[in-house]
Amino acid sequence: MSSQFGLIIVGDEILSGKRVDKHMPKVIDLLAARGLALSYADYVGDDPARITATLRRAFSSGDVVFSCGGIGATPDDHTRQCAARALGAELALHPEAEALIRERMQDTAREQGVPYEADRPDNVHRLNMGVFPVGARIIPNPYNKIPGFSCDGAAGGAVHFVPGFPVMAWPMIEWVLDRYYAHLFNKAPQTEQSVIVYGALEAVLTPLMERIEQQHPAIRVFSLPSVDHPQYGRHIELGVKGPAADVPAAWKDLQAGLHRVGANCGPEMVRNL
């Protein structure tokens, strides 16, 4: 199974700037705590055709993908329907989801001191939140019991659907990681080492960067330029990252290359990914 992890954020409110996405930084942290890394992220508005196309790519990728948002039952929530369309599957009320939603409605009625009316139109409508593509597995929601769901894709991958609310989504993502992917935790530790190069030009350093990647195929070289840093001024943070066992040799060669070109180097940094 692929160890690539992806993220999809659904919602016009993110693209319009009404809300700032908090999911990507948190998912990066949740993955990093388990020795994993996020490979890509997609942002898509509340457009059913675009959501369907994005999910179709996710299902066919063989990757593990988390999708945040759009699984409610209001007119601007399309993710459940788009997931079914992307899979070519029918939608149906999931029995376990139905039981959990009814339990939540009974809890709410008790809290409000009113009788639970199962056939009341708004309660019947709430059951739509448990209508998932046939074959889906539920993801428990510790906040209010309204579940998310998982659907398998190609080559052992899957897409896991959670609400857009961080208070719900984040523990649900943790549950998925710990339940389904513990065998991948800390399997391939990644490290990066970098150095501040004062007054450097990327064009001058590019041949060195290309040579390092050619000599060390498992390593990626990165260059993060800045023109107005308050401490370092104009500089480039130049580094190598990859499997922990392969980084030291590449780092040694990078340092030697910088010395040969007369680079003015400053602080060095090490980060475990």
Q: Are residues 159 and 211 in the same domain?
A: no
Distance (Å, whole) CA 70 – CA 81: 10
Distance (Å, whole) CA 214 – CA 223: 16
Q: Are residues 212 and 142 in the same domain?
A: no
Q: Give the residue among 47, 83, 50 at the shortest CA–CA distance from 65.
A: 83
Q: Are residues 22 and 90 in the same domain?
A: yes
Q: Are residues 37 and 113 in the same domain?
A: yes
Q: Which residues pair with 238 in a beta bridge?
A: 195, 223
Q: For the domain that residue 51 is a member of, what is the CATH number?
A: 3.40.980.10
End-to-end CA distance of the chain: 21
The bridge status of strand 38-44 relative to strand 5-10 is parallel
User: Which of 150, 184, 218 is the last residue in one of the domains?
Assistant: 184
Number of C-alpha atoms within 13 angstroms, CB side, residue 87?
22
* Sign, Cα dihedral of 82, 83, 86, 90: negative
> Residue 2 has what pLDDT?
53
Which three-class secondary structure state does DSSP give residue 54? Answer: helix
> Residue 58 has what pLDDT?
97
Distance (Å, whole) CA 247 – CA 252: 9
Q: Which residues pair with 264 in a beta bridge?
A: 198
> Residue 1 has what pLDDT?
47
Q: For the domain that residue 255 is a member of, what is the CATH number?
A: 3.30.70.260
pTM, two decimal places: 0.86
**Full DSSP string of the chain:** ----EEEEEE-HHHHTTSS---HHHHHHHHHHTTT--EEEEEEE-S-HHHHHHHHHHHHHHTSEEEEES--SSSTT--HHHHHHHHHT--EEE-HHHHHHHHHHHHHHHHHHTS---TTSHHHHHHGGGGEEETT-EEE--TTTS--EEEEE-GGG-EEEEE-S-HHHHHHHHHHHHHHH-GGGTTSS-EEEEEEEEET--HHHHHHHHHHHHHH-TT-EEEEEEEEEETTTEEEEEEEEEEETTTHHHHHHHHHHHHHHTT-EEEEEEEEE-
Distance (Å, whole) CA 190 – CA 212: 17
User: Which of 152, 184, 216 is the last residue in one of the domains?
Assistant: 184
Residue 43 structural domain: 5-184
Q: Are residues 177 and 78 in the same domain?
A: yes
Q: Are residues 73 and 206 in the same domain?
A: no
Please give the chain's pLDDT, 273 residues, in tens: 457 999 999 999 999 999 999 999 999 999 999 989 999 999 999 999 999 999 999 999 999 999 999 999 999 999 999 999 999 999 999 999 999 999 999 999 999 999 999 999 999 999 999 999 999 999 999 999 999 999 999 878 999 999 999 999 999 999 999 999 999 998 878 899 999 999 988 999 999 999 999 999 999 999 999 998 899 999 999 999 999 999 999 999 999 999 999 999 999 999 887
Q: Are residues 84 and 215 in the same domain?
A: no
User: Which of 169, 184, 199 is the last residue in one of the domains?
Assistant: 184
Q: Are residues 11 and 125 in the same domain?
A: yes
269 in Cβ contact with 263 (< 8 Å): no
What's the number of domains the chain is made of?
A: 2
Q: Are residues 244 and 204 in the same domain?
A: yes
Contacts of 115 (CB under 8 A, 6+ apart): 109
